[in-house]
Structure 1
Amino acid sequence: MDNNRFPGTAQAQTQGGTASQGLSLEVVKVLRNTYTLLAMTLAFSAVMAGISTAMEMPFGVSLVCFLVSLGLIWFVLPKTANSSAGIWVVFAFTGLLGFGLGPTLNHYLSMSNGGSIIMQALGATAIVFLGLSGYVLTTKKDFSFLRGMLMAGLLVAVVGVVGVLVLSMFGVDVSAVSLALSGMISLLMAGFILYDTSRIINGGETNYILATTALYLNIYNLFVNLLHLIGAFTGDG
């Protein structure tokens, strides 16, 4: 997701790909609020996923949750991002996506090594996110140059996912293409983590609600696609 840029007062400026020493108070505040809200929404999303898994919700629920969450992020969040109401929208959005994960998690848990697959995906997601975010926070590099490539890649991925869904409806075996798409999306999300974290540090994003939403989506999509990849290569069913 490419968030709209809001005018900010962050003072960090880049030169030769790196920012000046230190971060402004405004940037530090946005970072603190973003990571606090991100941690809370990830925990809430995990709880909702656990509830959905325990209830053994059908896959149709995932589609409904996804569509409603899209409505929230496209139509509601832009109108509430600059108010406290935006926080509740983010919790509703992340809660829905978490609840929609239940059927997918149950699919892997039905395998004898399903628990291990999920934990590997969680661990890999955490390592990638913490590693890339830590790199940007430490070096303060400006990754805004990735924007064009990331958006082009995202467009290709969306078209690919739609194509796979259509072909699968006609009984075409798209397992290999699906795996390739998961690998591509995983790399894209890694790129978006660099890009979105860099935008906060360099003053491109001063709204912590929108920053949280972007990072959450990066983590969510990274986890789902790593889960698919790990499940395909190590699963027993």
Structure 2
Amino acid sequence: MAQFDQVTSTRTESALSTNKVLRNTYMLLSMTLVFSAFAAVVSMALNLPQGASLIMSLAAIGIVWFVLPRTYNSSMGIVWTFVFAGLLGAGLGPMLNFYLSLPAGPSMVAQALGGTAVVTFGLSFYALTTKKDFSFLGGFLMVGLIVLLVAMVASWFLPIPGLQIAISAGVVLLMSLMILFDTSRIINGGETNYIRATVSLYLDIYNLFVHLLHLVYVLTGND
């Protein structure tokens, strides 16, 4: 009986810990997305050039690789997460200005935003309600990421017709699966750090939006 009570207590504590990580992740994710959107609006208003966008995006990558891993377990991790999200958000400014300057630009951006929201909420809700373990996707996602990176490098040197749209479609699919994978890791206890979980989900959503916008742009006959 004592052993049964101990097992029950352990499971309860594990469930409470998982729920806390999940709650903190989505709270921080919501705040960083809002902050990122604000940074994008400021960047658009300032009409920042593409060069500034590239610099900010590279700085954000540097933060992800070299700064955040050292601060995930401290309050500074939250600060750097906002810096990272702000840089990527501001880096979207020049791209959004380009799309919005097109005749159907506002509609394309709205469609991309709507599509990103539907995919994100739909897949997150599915992962949360089914509680299915999607860890089996890990190997496929790694191979898919490598293939996409090779394709992106190839696109710089080989003008293959349709390659860009294939890359964007591949990224949309890969990021959709990443949302399932990352959410599942939190629910099933594979991810216990809400700052790291937030950064992963933010990158999934960011890349999903950017490449979904490119797909909308191409499919409306602008490429």
Same fold (TM over 0.5): yes
**Residue 11 (structure 1) shift:** 4.5
**Residue 174 (structure 1) shift:** 4.6
Q: Quote the residue 2:171 is aligned against.
A: 185
**Residue 118 (structure 1) shift:** 0.3
**Residue 161 (structure 1) shift:** 1.3
State how far apart, in whole Å, the 2-side matches of 1:231 and 1:57 are: 22
Structure 1 residue 121 corresponds to structure 2 residue 112? yes
State how far apart, in whole Å, the 2-side matches of 1:116 and 1:86 are: 36
Q: Aligned match of 1:210 in 190, 193, 196?
A: 196
Amino acid at match of 1:221: N
> RCO (CA 8 Å, sep 6+): is it higher in 1 or 2?
1
Q: Quote the residue 1:109 is aligned against.
A: 100
Q: Aligned match of 1:67 in 43, 46, 58?
A: 58
**Residue 175 (structure 1) shift:** 5.6
Residues 39-54 of structure 1 aligned to structure 2 (within 5 Å): 39-54=30-45
Q: Which has the higher helix share?
A: 2
Determine helix, strand or coil for the equivalent of 1:57: coil
Q: Quote the residue 2:135 is aligned against.
A: 144
Assess if the C-alpha contact under 8 Å between 1:62 and 1:100 holds in 2.
Answer: yes
The CA deviation string for residues 92-145 of structure 1, in whole angstroms up to 9 with x for no partner, is 001000000011101111101100100100000000000000001000000000
Structure 1 residue 219 corresponds to structure 2 residue 205? yes
Q: Quote the residue 1:78 is aligned against.
A: 69
State how far apart, in whole Å, the 2-side matches of 1:73 and 1:128 are: 24
Q: Aligned match of 1:231 in 206, 217, 220?
A: 217
Assess if the C-alpha contact under 8 Å between 1:41 and 1:91 holds in 2.
Answer: yes
State how far apart, in whole Å, the 1-side matches of 2:185 and 2:220 are: 36
**Residue 235 (structure 1) shift:** 5.3
**Residue 173 (structure 1) shift:** 3.8
Structure 1 residue 35 corresponds to structure 2 residue 26? yes
Flag structure 1 segments of 5+ consecutive residues without an equivalent. Answer: 1-9, 13-22
User: How many pairs were matched up?
Assistant: 213
State how far apart, in whole Å, the 2-side matches of 1:221 and 1:227 are: 10
TM-score by length of 2: 0.92
State how far apart, in whole Å, the 1-side matches of 2:218 and 2:68 are: 35
TM-score by length of 1: 0.86
Assess if the C-alpha contact under 8 Å between 1:81 and 1:210 holds in 2.
Answer: yes
Q: Quote the residue 2:3 is aligned against.
A: none
- Give the fraction of aligned pairs with identical amino acids, expressed as a percent: 56
Determine helix, strand or coil for the equivalent of 1:24: helix
Higher radius of gyration, 1 or 2: 2
**Residue 163 (structure 1) shift:** 2.0
Q: Quote the residue 2:4 is aligned against.
A: none
Say what the alpha-carbon RMSD is for the aligned residues: 1.5
Amino acid at match of 1:108: Y
- The runs of at least 4 aligned residues of structure 1 exceeding 4 Å deviation read none
**Residue 218 (structure 1) shift:** 0.3
